Structure 1
Amino acid sequence: MSRESDYGFPPEEFEARVARAQKYMREHRFDGLLLSGMDNVRYFTGLDSSFWESYTRPWFVLVPADGIPTAIIPEIGRAIVESTWITKIISWPSPRPEDEGTSLLVQAISELPRRFGRVGAELGRELRIGMPVAQLNSLIGQLRGVEIADGADLIWQLRMVKSAAEVRKIQHSIDIAGEVYAAVPDFVRIGDSERKILRNFRSRLNEGGAATIPTLICRADVGGPFEITGGPRERPIADGDMLFIDTGTTFDGYFCDYDRNFRVGSITDELRFAQEKVWDANEVGLNSVRPGVTAGYIFQQMANSLSSGGQDLNNNGRMGHGLGLRLTEPPSVRLEDVTVLVPGMVLCVEPALEYQPGKIVLHEETVVVTEDGCRLLTPRAPRELPQIS
């Protein structure tokens, strides 16, 4: 189980994040960074709250190109923000639909020392702003001489590289899930429904110390699931199925994301071939991860491995992604992604194969890029499918 000391970060961690952000702001020609998405607010403040589930009250953090961040928040959140490392806090009595902090944002942004006349915001790839679009438009319309520009490249340049403390959080969430995966053959039986398996899996994750379990997928079909994104069914697993379980469990805000496959009773030669083919491609991908190569290079190596006898068996749009405060983050392990890997990046490497129409096998492992290669964070799945009887 987790100890209280396992949670949170020291102020020095956040100070280092702000310093890096300010360095990148000069490179990207920004006077500040306006953040309202829950993961970015948490990244800079350490704020842990389930209040994000309410869209009534937006929360903001303004990081200047020099100096300390300002939290611009609803009054109801002042006490919890005061418990973080943030010392500059401005609040308003919310809900106040006619002005949910917009006037305070206009004032704070207008008072930033103006060098470039641009403030970055969460407008680009794989980001979401935490306010209504109408409010953003109102903010833009009220600002004079300041452009709200896309800050996605800066944000991901910052967040793609994890600190050692962040990697420890990810490892902790992986370990929680790993203990439950290892126990699946002991608590799952032929005849159990997908819903029952999922409930038992979720219960064990909670007992193991999971903070939240935003993603948990349990699918089984003869020879493999026909899709791996939907919710569980009442369908009982049966002899000849392959059971697929995938979880995005969190610890202290940081996700794990990996799956495990199980044979239910007997196995066909075709499924055994696909299992070994995808496992081998995963091994190729893991061995390809090192500083200096691109995300696209890793994709190409796995795509080559999935091909057989001159036949291209790869039909994947991507075969992996980054991981952190979100279940999926840049880079994408896809052919066109030219992101160069550097130490500290955390990647999920996940080749997949539809080896027959409607039958999918996918393997996913997680690594952190090191100075001379990578380190496996997940316990490596066996090449032979574990059996459920």
Structure 2
Amino acid sequence: MTDLYRRRMDRAAADAADAGLTGLLVTPGPDLTYFTGYRPTAVTERITLLVLAAGHGPRLIVPVLERPDAVEAAGAGAVTITGWADGDDPYAAAAALLDPRGRYAISDNAWALQLLGLQEALPGSRYTSMTATLPMLRAVKDADEVERLASAGAAADAAFEQILGVRFAGRTEHQIGTDLAALLLAHGHSQVDFTVVGSGPNGANPHHEMGERVITDGDMVVLDFGGLQDGYGSDTTRTVHVGEPTAEERRVHDVVREAQQAAFEAVRPGVACEEIDRIARDVITRAGYGEHFIHRTGHGIGLTTHEPPYLIAGEKQPLVPGMCFSIEPGVYLPGRFGVRIEDIVTVTADGGRRLNNTSRELHIVA
């Protein structure tokens, strides 16, 4: 793994230089894990900072009490690791690794306290968001990452197949969500990040999650759930119906399914992210529900559930083999019901591959 991390760090430093940056400042979170494999056991106000800059080897500054863990995870051969002790000025120690007048991209989840400390220590330095400057830094996955995402997707699929056998009517959204969470863990997830269970009118809120509403016969139910398995995310949505649906409910579900399929079929290298959004949106608009599709068509996924690329109008970034993202159009009728269908998709050399493979038909549950 050391060679893999070193290649990632070297590529990032080169990309930063090409973008006119002095380098990258990586703080604890998904970026640090991606580049070094190091996950600090406690993310606190004590600064931990990886510095990547062309012409310099990777340098990591950590609290001295955490240095043994950092050496074990990141490897002293791949990264030069420096410790600072309580009582030292951590920003002076970090500043020694930086260009006093440099322009750096910094991890989006860096603590404001630490960024302000760096600015005070180096008043001539400048900083920008890593996502704003280098949005594709983690967007293109290697073969191992894709297969980890595929494994997480398969586990989510297995959880969905099992939840179809559970009784919905007479139980609360929270109970169904608890069942889903348990199934994700049973099929190999290390953590569950979210369980959206939106029944009846609650389904018209895309981020309803789960509440105490009792599900009844005649409800449409949106199920959106995911978490982490082997470090990589799952995220899938299917919409089910308790008992026989009305003609309108079937029609709305068919429209969303058609939009999701059309967007998937458009996936191929070179197509702009916004084009996938436009294709899904056009299907829904032609059917008369355009104003009820109220979110982007998709988001990237990897070490985190939401990351670049984003499938949204204005995003000109072309698709590249190895990109992984959701395709999740939806229609939300306020006060009545909602429908969403979501798969994780990866870009291949000549098209796309779904990482979720359960049926996208409208399932009838009891």
TM over 0.5: yes
Structure-1 residue corresponding to 2:68: 79
Distance 1:28-1:51 versus aligned 2 partners, 3 A rule: same
One-letter amino acid of the structure 2 residue matched with residue 388 of structure 1: V
Structure-1 residue corresponding to 2:206: 228
Structure-1 residue corresponding to 2:12: 21
Of the candidates 109, 125, 149, which is equivalent to residue 128 of structure 1?
109
Distance 1:48-1:251 versus aligned 2 partners, 3 A rule: farther
- Cα drift, residue 372 of structure 1: 0.8
Of the candidates 250, 258, 263, which is equivalent to residue 285 of structure 1?
263
Q: Is the 8 A contact 2:28 2:40 kept in 1?
A: no
Structure-2 residue corresponding to 1:137: 116
Structure-1 residue corresponding to 2:93: 104
Separation (CA, whole Å) in 2 of partners of 1:235 and 1:357: 14
Is residue 2:350 matched to residue 1:388? no
Separation (CA, whole Å) in 1 of partners of 2:69 and 2:186: 27
Question: How is 1:196-211 mapped onto 2 (pairs within 5 angstroms)?
Answer: 196-211=175-190
Separation (CA, whole Å) in 1 of partners of 2:92 and 2:205: 47
What is the aligned-residue RMSD (CA, Å)?
2.3
Is residue 2:207 matched to residue 1:216? no
Is residue 2:254 matched to residue 1:276? yes
Structure-2 residue corresponding to 1:240: 218
Is residue 2:106 matched to residue 1:117? no
Structure-1 residue corresponding to 2:169: 190
- The alignment partner of 2:282 has SS state of helix
Separation (CA, whole Å) in 1 of partners of 2:225 and 2:39: 21
Distance 1:217-1:32 versus aligned 2 partners, 3 A rule: same
One-letter amino acid of the structure 2 residue matched with residue 108 of structure 1: L
Structure-1 residue corresponding to 2:241: 263
- The alignment partner of 2:192 has SS state of strand
One-letter amino acid of the structure 2 residue matched with residue 387 of structure 1: I
Of the candidates 111, 135, 154, which is equivalent to residue 156 of structure 1?
135
Distance 1:134-1:50 versus aligned 2 partners, 3 A rule: closer
- The alignment partner of 1:156 has SS state of coil
Separation (CA, whole Å) in 2 of partners of 1:388 and 1:184: 9
TM-score by length of 1: 0.86
Distance 1:308-1:64 versus aligned 2 partners, 3 A rule: closer
Question: How is 1:292-371 mapped onto 2 (pairs within 5 angstroms)?
Answer: 292-308=270-286, 312=290, 315-355=293-333, 357-371=335-349
Separation (CA, whole Å) in 1 of partners of 2:84 and 2:189: 34
Structure-1 residue corresponding to 2:42: 51
Structure 1 gap ranges (5+): 1-9
Q: Is the 8 A contact 1:14 1:45 kept in 2?
A: yes
Distance 1:218-1:282 versus aligned 2 partners, 3 A rule: same
Distance 1:234-1:144 versus aligned 2 partners, 3 A rule: closer
Q: Is the 8 A contact 1:281 1:306 kept in 2?
A: yes
One-letter amino acid of the structure 1 residue matched with residue 82 of structure 2: I
Separation (CA, whole Å) in 2 of partners of 1:39 and 1:147: 23
Q: Is the 8 A contact 2:325 2:346 kept in 1?
A: yes
Separation (CA, whole Å) in 2 of partners of 1:58 and 1:14: 21
Separation (CA, whole Å) in 1 of partners of 2:292 and 2:273: 17
Most deviating of 345-354 and 19-28: 19-28
- Cα drift, residue 74 of structure 1: 2.2
- Cα drift, residue 270 of structure 1: 1.1
Separation (CA, whole Å) in 2 of partners of 1:65 and 1:38: 22
Separation (CA, whole Å) in 2 of partners of 1:328 and 1:211: 18
Q: Is the 8 A contact 2:197 2:223 kept in 1?
A: yes
Separation (CA, whole Å) in 2 of partners of 1:169 and 1:371: 19
One-letter amino acid of the structure 2 residue matched with residue 84 of structure 1: A
One-letter amino acid of the structure 1 residue matched with residue 117 of structure 2: S
Q: Is the 8 A contact 2:256 2:284 kept in 1?
A: yes
- Cα drift, residue 317 of structure 1: 3.7
The one-character-per-residue Cα deviations of 1:156-179 (angstroms, maximum 9, x if unpaired) are 222111111111121121112111
Separation (CA, whole Å) in 2 of partners of 1:202 and 1:309: 35
TM-score by length of 2: 0.91
Is residue 2:67 matched to residue 1:90? no
Separation (CA, whole Å) in 2 of partners of 1:247 and 1:312: 25
